[in-house]
């Protein structure tokens, strides 16, 4: 599959397009001095037309991909830095809104964090992460799943919901997709949402029920409100694999995601282990 990587380097020869310089052209220039990015955090593009490549470096084996990143584009940092041809490179996953289905994820790839002179092209993007582990549904739903993964890691969370609403459809009732993800519970989705009463909750709040999930009971006084207990970065995510297969011809083709993206997709799902009765939130 194609992978993203960025080299938006201005060239010593301003007549050359950005990001297209060869290794020979940069051989006499210093390494960048921009502060490093941190794995599993969110970064932001702060230059125009940041080039994305299939591998770190600017040699011919590193393919320039069609998409150019623009100021304000958000990135999840998967790995790095890797120093190659006088740039520090990071493997990143661009973040899109709303959170897409697997087949709609943009390609992940490698971006250079700064020019050869040290001018930053990508910078850390701080997130206002709650310190408490007891959340309202709306709080969690306000995050993109990758932002929630960055904020909470594998912390145990309790999310208060009025109820869990499911579509009533079973997987066998739906058109068969052209791929499967294993483990199935972490990749397929449930068709369920956490109900905050006021509005539909999606974002990072979509529940994925673990094999050990056992629904908890409610009390007569509060028959609906419950704590939904779970975590991002479930340990099973490291074994996630995508298998293309023959499905319904009306469905989109299997997504072209590499192994790092599949694992990241599964890590960003809220894995629910249990529910417990909860009091309604205070007015």
Query: What is the reported pLDDT for 201?
Result: 59
Query: What is the reported pLDDT for 95?
Result: 93
Query: Distance between CA atoms of 227 and 212, rounded to whole angstroms?
Result: 16
Number of Cα atoms under 13 Å in the Cβ half of residue 82:
18
- pTM of whole model > 0.75? yes
Query: What is the reported pLDDT for 110?
Result: 96
Each residue's pLDDT expressed in tens, for the chain with a length of 283 residues: 334 444 444 333 333 334 433 333 333 344 445 678 999 999 999 999 999 999 999 989 999 988 899 999 999 999 999 999 999 999 999 998 866 677 778 889 999 999 999 999 999 999 999 999 999 999 999 999 999 999 999 999 999 998 888 765 444 455 666 788 899 999 866 778 888 766 555 789 999 999 988 776 655 555 678 999 999 999 999 999 988 877 667 776 777 888 999 999 999 999 999 999 898 888 7
Q: How deeply is 44 buried, as exposed, middle or buried, from its count of CB atoms within 10 A (0-12, 13-18, 19+)? A: middle
Query: What is the reported pLDDT for 88?
Result: 96
Number of Cα atoms under 13 Å in the Cβ half of residue 179:
20
DSSP string, the chain: ---EE---PPPSSTTSPTT---TGGGTTSPPP-SPPP-TTSEEEE-SSSEEEESSSSSSTTSPEEEEEE-TT-EEEEEEEEEEETTEEEEEEEE--SSPPPGGGPPPPEEEESB-TT--BSEEE------S-SEEEHHHHHTS-HHHHHHHHTT--EEEEESEEEE-S--GGGSPPPSEEEESHHHHS--SEEEE-SSS---GGG-EEEEEEEEPPP--SSSSS-EEEEEESS-GGGGG-EEEE----TTSPPPP---HHHHHHHHHTSEEEEEEEE-PPPP-
Query: What is the reported pLDDT for 48?
Result: 97
């Amino acid at each position: 599959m194609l992978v993203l990587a960025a080299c938006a380097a201005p060239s010593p020869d301003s007549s050359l397009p950005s990001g297209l310089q060869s290794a020979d052209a940069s051989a006499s220039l210093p390494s960048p001095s921009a502060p490093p990015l941190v794995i599993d955090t969110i970064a932001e593009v702060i230059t125009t037309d940041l080039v994305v490549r299939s591998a770190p470096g600017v040699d011919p084996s590193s393919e320039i991909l069609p998409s150019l990143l623009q100021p304000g584009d958000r990135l999840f940092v998967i790995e790095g830095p890797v120093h190659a041809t006088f740039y520090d490179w990071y493997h990143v996953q661009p973040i899109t809104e709303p959170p897409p289905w697997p087949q709609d994820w943009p390609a992940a790839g490698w971006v250079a964090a700064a020019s050869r002179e040290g001018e930053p092209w990508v910078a850390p993007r701080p997130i206002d992460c709650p310190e408490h582990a007891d959340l309202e549904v709306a709080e969690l739903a306000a995050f993109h799943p990758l932002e929630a993964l960055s904020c909470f890691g594998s912390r145990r969370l309790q999310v208060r919901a009025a109820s869990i609403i499911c579509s009533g459809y079973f997987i066998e009732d739906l058109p068969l997709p052209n791929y499967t993800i294993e483990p199935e519970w972490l990749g397929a989705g449930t068709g369920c949402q956490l109900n905050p009463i006021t509005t539909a909750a999606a974002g990072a709040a979509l529940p994925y029920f673990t094999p050990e999930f056992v629904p908890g009971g409610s009390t007569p006084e509060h028959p609906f409100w419950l704590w939904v207990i779970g975590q991002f970065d479930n340990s099973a995510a490291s074994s996630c694999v995508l298998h293309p297969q023959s499905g319904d011809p009306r469905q989109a083709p299997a997504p072209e995601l590499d192994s790092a993206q599949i694992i990241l997709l599964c890590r960003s799902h809220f894995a629910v282990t249990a529910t417990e009765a909860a009091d309604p939130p205070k007015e």
